[in-house]
Amino acid sequence: MEIIYEDKDIKVLNKPAGVNADDIEGRIHRLDKDTSGVLLTAKSEESLAFFQEQFKSRQVKKTYLALLVGNLKQESGTIETLLGRSPSDRRKQKVFLEHEPGAEDKRMALSRYRVLKRFQNYDLVEIELLTGRKHQIRAQFANLSHPVAGDKLYGFKGQLVPEGLKRQFLHAEKVEIKMPDSSLKTFEVDLPEELKTVLNKIK
């Protein structure tokens, strides 16, 4: 994996799709196996605790790029939902309504999005995660009937898939975090070539 930054406390990786982040030593946060992009890893127990505390207290700014199936009604917006494990499929997260049975112990998930480019059957969106719930982007947009393109777990039967797309079109583009010396650093990774190629073929 390409190292995009390294110092005595942290090593920042460009994680390709298909690599299980759980297997990576010192990982500070999680990225789904088929999501590419910025992954932070700590080089000591102290720095791991320091950086993880920022994720827990929502001080980290995380920005993703996703290609969604269909066109969103609004150019930008905020999605606030309750999210928890789906009772019908344990691999998935489900959006719960406030008074729905089982909703009482579910956690709030908050995302902010804006459409970068509209295509005939897809929207390319930038999403800022204000919370870091498991499968947050995938579950929330599937719940809006605009699943991430190529997502086999949350997609619908017979869903449109862009030509050449072999995985979910979700990329962790940017992470902004405070360093131990109190400086703010932003780590950024461009869309991988495979996803750029897919975009170039869409009308």
Residue 171 CB neighbours (<10 A): 23
| Residue of 22, 23, 32, 105 with catalytic role | 32
What is the rounded distance in angstroms from the CA atom of residue 13 to the CA atom of residue 83?
Answer: 28
Catalytic: 181?
A: no
What is the rounded distance in angstroms from the CA atom of residue 161 to the CA atom of residue 87?
Answer: 27
The three-state secondary structure class of 51 is helix
What is the rounded distance in angstroms from the CA atom of residue 199 to the CA atom of residue 203?
Answer: 9
What is the rounded distance in angstroms from the CA atom of residue 201 to the CA atom of residue 92?
Answer: 30
Residue that has been written with the tokens 């461009």 in this structure: 190
What is the rounded distance in angstroms from the CA atom of residue 173 to the CA atom of residue 163?
Answer: 22
- Measured at the alpha carbon of residue 153, what is the angle toward residues 151 and 156, in degrees to the nearest 5? 75
| Cβ within 8 Å of residue 41, ≥6 positions away | 10, 11, 12, 13, 24, 25, 26, 27, 28
Q: Hey, which residues are catalytic here?
A: 32
